[in-house]
C-alpha cells in the first residue's frame, strides 16, 4: 500500500511539473512573439538616444532623461510610478581635449586622439608637455620608482587580453590601470597619466570611463588614448626614448546635483511584499549617446512591464522596473535604492540587471548559492528555443549589488559580448549600433525569467558552495 501511494504521489508530482512546464512554455512564447512583432524597446531607445543623447550624471540631458522615463512609464498603466531623489556628482568634460606626440629626433609633432577620464582634474590652461615613460604593469611602475617616473607622463599601455573568450573578463583584467593608474603614478612623481583605451578594436576612438584618486590632495590629469595611437606611440618610443607628450584638458568638477532613480511598479496579486526588481542605468557617458551602455538596459526593463500589461499577465509577486542614476561615475542610484529598501523593510527576492549591451541574449549569470544556481538551471529547456542557453554562477550587476546584503538573488543578463567593447564609453556608442531584433530578444528573455520567478519564487537553501 505504501509503495502504491508513493507511485501515485510521484505520478501526481510529475503531472504538476508537466502542467507547469506547458503553461510556462506557452507564456514565454507569448512574450517572445509579442516583443518581436510589436516591441516598443527600440522605439523608446530611439527617443532616448537621438532626442536626448549622452546623459552624464548632473547634466541637463540626464534631467531630461528622468522626465522622459517617468512619462513613458506613466503611459503603461502601471500601479505606481515615482522618482526617488539621489544626489549625484557633476563632472564636466569641457572643451575637446588636445594631445600630441613630439619627437625632435624623428617626426616632429603628431596629433593623437585622447579623451579625459571621468573625474580627472584638468591640465594647466596652456596644457602640459613632458617626457613619456611606457609601462605595461603596476609592477613596472614600482620597479622604475621615483627616479624613473618623477617629472614624466606615465603611459599605461596594457591591452585587453584577446585570448579571453568573454570580453568582460578581458576588460576586468586591465581596467584597473584606468581606475587606479593616476593614484599610483602620482606617488612616484608623475605629472599625468595616459591609459590605453579599454577595447580590443584597433581604431581612432578613445574610450573614457571613471577613474579615482585615493588621496584627494594628490591629483594629476588622466586621459585615455585610442588604441591605434597607443600602438603608434609605443613604436615611436622605441625610435626616440626622449619622446615628449603634450596634453590639454579643461574638465572640472561642479557641485553635486539632485537627480532621481525612476521606478515603475506592478503590484503582486498573491505576494505583494515580495519584490522582483529589473533595471538598467539611465545615465551614460557623454561622448556617444549611451545606446548600448545603458539605454538598452533601461528600455528592456520598461518593456518587461509593458509585456506583462499587454499580455494581461498579473504577476503573483511585485515587479519593479528601476532606472538607476549615476552608475557610471559614482553608483549613487544603486546605493540609494538599496538604502531605501532597507529603511522601508522591503523584501527583494530577486534583482535582474541589464548592463552589457543590447546584443543577442545568451543567458543569465546568477549571484547566489550553488543550490539556487542549480534551481535556475532547471529552466534551461524553456529558454533553449530562443538561443538562450547559459545559466551559470556569476556576476549580477553594479547597481543591484548593494541588495545582496538583504539576501536578494542577483541576476545579470548575458548578451553576446564580442562587440560590446567596440563601442563601450566611446563616441561610437550610438543608436545605429543597436539591432532592434537583438534588443527585443533580450527584453523577452528578461520578461520570461521575471515571469518564472514571479510564478514559482526562489527556494532558498544555504549550502557550503
Rounded mean pLDDT, 93-98: 97
Residue 425 in this model has a pLDDT that exceeds 60: yes
Q: Is 334 helix (H, G, I), strand (E, B) or coil?
A: helix
DSSP string, 93-119: --SPPEEEEEETTTTEEEE--EEEPBT
Write out pLDDT tens, residues 31-90: 999 999 999 999 999 999 999 999 999 999 999 999 999 999 999 999 999 999 999 999
Phi, then psi, of 173 in degrees rounded to 5: -80, -15
Please indicate, yes or no, whether residues 295 and 367 belong to a single structural domain of this protein. Answer: yes
Give the mean pLDDT of 435-456.
98
Residue among 403, 78, 431 nearest 262 (CA): 78
If asked whether residues 310 and 328 sit together in one domain, one would say yes
The confidence score (pLDDT) of residue 7 equals 39
Are residues 74 and 101 both part of a single domain?
A: no
Mean pLDDT in residue range 333-358: 98
Under DSSP, the state recorded for 292 is I
The answer to whether residue 3 is domain-embedded is no
Furthest C-alpha separation in the chain: 97
Residue 204, domain member (yes or no):
yes
Secondary-structure breakdown of the chain: helix, strand, coil percentages, each rounded to the nearest 5: 40, 25, 35
* Per-residue pLDDT at 284: 98
Kindly report, residue by residue over 245-284, the tens digit of the pLDDT: 999 999 999 999 999 999 999 999 999 999 999 999 999 9
The enclosing H or E element of 6 equals helix 2-38
Annotated active-site residue in 61, 303, 327, 428: 327
- Where residue 195 sits, what CATH number does that domain have? 3.50.30.30
Asked whether residue 26 carries a pLDDT value surpassing 90, the answer given is yes
Asked if residue 194 and residue 106 are part of one domain, the reply reads yes
The last residue of one of the domains, among 200, 229, 250, is 250
Number of domains making up the chain: 2
Q: What is the mean pLDDT of residues 205-211?
A: 98
Per-residue pLDDT tens for 143-158? 999 999 999 999 999 9
The strand ranges marked E within 198-270 are 222-225, 244-248, 252-266
pLDDT digits (tens, 9 = 90+) for 298-310: 999 999 999 999 9
pTM: 0.94
Residue 318 forms part of a structural domain: yes
Contact of 454 with 315, CB cutoff 8 Å: yes
Say how many C-beta atoms besides its own lie within 10 A of residue 385's C-beta.
Answer: 11
Q: Residue 12 domain-assigned? A: no
Residue 18 in any domain: the answer is no
Percent of the chain whose pLDDT exceeds 90: 94
| Domain assignment of residue 285, yes or no | yes
Strand partners, 162: none
For residues 160 and 309, state if they share a domain: no
Do both 136 and 246 map to the same domain? yes
Locate cell 575637446: which residue? 96
Please identify, among 250, 275, 306, the residue that sits at the C-terminal boundary of a domain: 250
pLDDT at residue 160 is higher than 60: yes
Show the domain range for 278. 28-91+255-456
Quick one: 177 and 118 in the same domain?
A: yes
210: left (phi over 0), alpha (psi -120 to 50) or beta: beta
Is residue 99 pLDDT above 90, yes or no? yes
- Bridge partners (DSSP) of residue 317 are 271
Q: Are residues 306 and 409 part of one domain?
A: yes
**CB 315, CB 451: distance < 8 Å:** yes
Q: What is the pLDDT, as a whole number, of residue 462?
A: 52
Mean pLDDT of the chain: 95
Q: Are residues 346 and 227 in the same domain?
A: no
Nearest-angstrom CA–CA distance, 185 and 152: 10
Residue 464 lies in a domain: no
101 lies in the same domain as 178: yes
Instruction: Give the residue from 201, 227, 250 where a domain finishes.
Output: 250
What's the confidence (pLDDT) of residue 17?
A: 55
CATH of residue 72's domain is 3.40.630.10
Q: What is the pLDDT of residue 210?
A: 98
**pLDDT attached to residue 460:** 76
Shared domain check, 261 and 240:
no
Indicate if 328 belongs to the active site: no
Which residues, 6 or more positions from 425, have their beta carbon under 8 angstroms from its beta carbon? 198, 207, 208, 209, 285, 287, 293
Q: Are 463 and 371 in contact (CB under 8 A)?
A: yes
**102 vs 99: CA distance, rounded Å:** 10
Residues 435 and 402 in one domain: yes
Is there a domain that residue 433 lies in? yes
pLDDT at 120: 98
Return the closest-CA partner of residue 424 out of 206, 227, 155. 206
The 10 Å Cβ neighbour count of residue 208 is 29
Amino acid at each position: 500500500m505504501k509503495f502504491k501511494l508513493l507511485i501515485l504521489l510521484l505520478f501526481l508530482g510529475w503531472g504538476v511539473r508537466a502542467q507547469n512546464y506547458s503553461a510556462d512554455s506557452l507564456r514565454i512564447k507569448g512574450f517572445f512573439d509579442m516583443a518581436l512583432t510589436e516591441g516598443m524597446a527600440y522605439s523608446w531607445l530611439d527617443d532616448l538616444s537621438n532626442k536626448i543623447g549622452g546623459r552624464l550624471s548632473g547634466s541637463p540631458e540626464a534631467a531630461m532623461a528622468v522626465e522622459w522615463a517617468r512619462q513613458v512609464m506613466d503611459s503603461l498603466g502601471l500601479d505606481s510610478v515615482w522618482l526617488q531623489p539621489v544626489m549625484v556628482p557633476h563632472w564636466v568634460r569641457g572643451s575637446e581635449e588636445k594631445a600630441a606626440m613630439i619627437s625632435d629626433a624623428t617626426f616632429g609633432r603628431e596629433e593623437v586622439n585622447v579623451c579625459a577620464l571621468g573625474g580627472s582634474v584638468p591640465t594647466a590652461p596652456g596644457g602640459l608637455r613632458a617626457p613619456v615613460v611606457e609601462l605595461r604593469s603596476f609592477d613596472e611602475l614600482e620597479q622604475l620608482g621615483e627616479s624613473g617616473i618623477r617629472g614624466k607622463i606615465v603611459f599605461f599601455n596594457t591591452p585587453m587580453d584577446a585570448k579571453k573568450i568573454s570580453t568582460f573578463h578581458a576588460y576586468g583584467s586591465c581596467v584597473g590601470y584606468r581606475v587606479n593608474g593616476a593614484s599610483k603614478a602620482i606617488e612616484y612623481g608623475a605629472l599625468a597619466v595616459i591609459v590605453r583605451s579599454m577595447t580590443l578594436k584597433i581604431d581612432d576612438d578613445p574610450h573614457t570611463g571613471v577613474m579615482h584618486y585615493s588621496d584627494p590632495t594628490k591629483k594629476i590629469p588622466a586621459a585615455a588614448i585610442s588604441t591605434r595611437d597607443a600602438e603608434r606611440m609605443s613604436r615611436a618610443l622605441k625610435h626616440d626614448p626622449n619622446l615628449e607628450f603634450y596634453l590639454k584638458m579643461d574638465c572640472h568638477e561642479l557641485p553635486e546635483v539632485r537627480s532621481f532613480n525612476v521606478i515603475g511598479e506592478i503590484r503582486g496579486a498573491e505576494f505583494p511584499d515580495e519584490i522582483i526588481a529589473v533595471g538598467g542605468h539611465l545615465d551614460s557617458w557623454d561622448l556617444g549617446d549611451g545606446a548600448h551602455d545603458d539605454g538598452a538596459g533601461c528600455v528592456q526593463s520598461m518593456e518587461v512591464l509593458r509585456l506583462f500589461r499587454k499580455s494581461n499577465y498579473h504577476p503573483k509577486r511585485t515587479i519593479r522596473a528601476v532606472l538607476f542614476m549615476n552608475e557610471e561615475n559614482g553608483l549613487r542610484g544603486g546605493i540609494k535604492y538599496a538604502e531605501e529598501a532597507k529603511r522601508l523593510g522591503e523584501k527583494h527576492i530577486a534583482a535582474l540587471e541589464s548592463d552589457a549591451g543590447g546584443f543577442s541574449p545568451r543567458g543569465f549569470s546568477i549571484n547566489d548559492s550553488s543550490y539556487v544556481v542549480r534551481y535556475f538551471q532547471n529552466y534551461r529547456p524553456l529558454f533553449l528555443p530562443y538561443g538562450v542557453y547559459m545559466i551559470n554562477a556569476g556576476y549580477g550587476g553594479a547597481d543591484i549589488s548593494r541588495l545582496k546584503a538583504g539576501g536578494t538573488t542577483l541576476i545579470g543578463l548575458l548578451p553576446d559580448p564580442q562587440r560590446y567593447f567596440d563601442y563601450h564609453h566611446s563616441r561610437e556608442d550610438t543608436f545605429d549600433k543597436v539591432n532592434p531584433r537583438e534588443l527585443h530578444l533580450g527584453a523577452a528573455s528578461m520578461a520570461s525569467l521575471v515571469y518564472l520567478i514571479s510564478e514559482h519564487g526562489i527556494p532558498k537553501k544555504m549550502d557550503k558552495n
